[in-house]
Amino acid sequence: MREKSGGTVSGFGLVALRLALAVVFVAHGTNILFGLWAGPGIGAGGLDLTAQTFAAAGLAPAFLLAVLVGIIETVGGILLAIGFLTRASASALAVIICVAMWKVHWSNGFFLNWMSAPGRGLGLEFSVVLIGALLCLGLMGAGEWSVDGRREASRAERRAGRARIRRRF
């Protein structure tokens, strides 16, 4: 792999992917929990409105799930940003997206509602992109520029040190 200013190019790519996903999930999670970022396209947010949306989609217990999804999206997004527990965070977020695809987006077809046609929801398009990105992080890990990467490097250094000591004796 090609080295570039202290790290690999793929390391930078994984940072960019983690940060992009973090922005999306923290924004969604804080909208669910606190109603932040309210406006056209996302709605008012907040736990009560999210619970109503979940109940309409047939998800129960709706309020508990709204709290759980809001926490997982907010905390999972933050963990992705710093690259800590990345595989677990990506897996939890992927489960949420899969449930949303199954319960909400599947019936609307593949494409998003780019024309904002009344009465037509959003399709699978964006969810497929999110699943692909989360799958990438789940398989690749957070990369070298992350807390997980630092921990892995430390583990490898300790193993190498123990191996050198064993060879001496």
Residues present in the chain in total: 169
Residue type (1 letter), 119: G
Range of the domain at 117: 3-168
Q: Count up the domains in the chain and report the number.
A: 1
pLDDT tens per residue, range 65-101: 999 999 999 999 999 999 999 999 999 999 999 999 9
DSSP string, 6-17: TEEHHHHHHHHH
* pTM for the predicted model, two decimal places: 0.82
Tokens of 116: 């904002």
The mean pLDDT value for 45-58 works out to 92
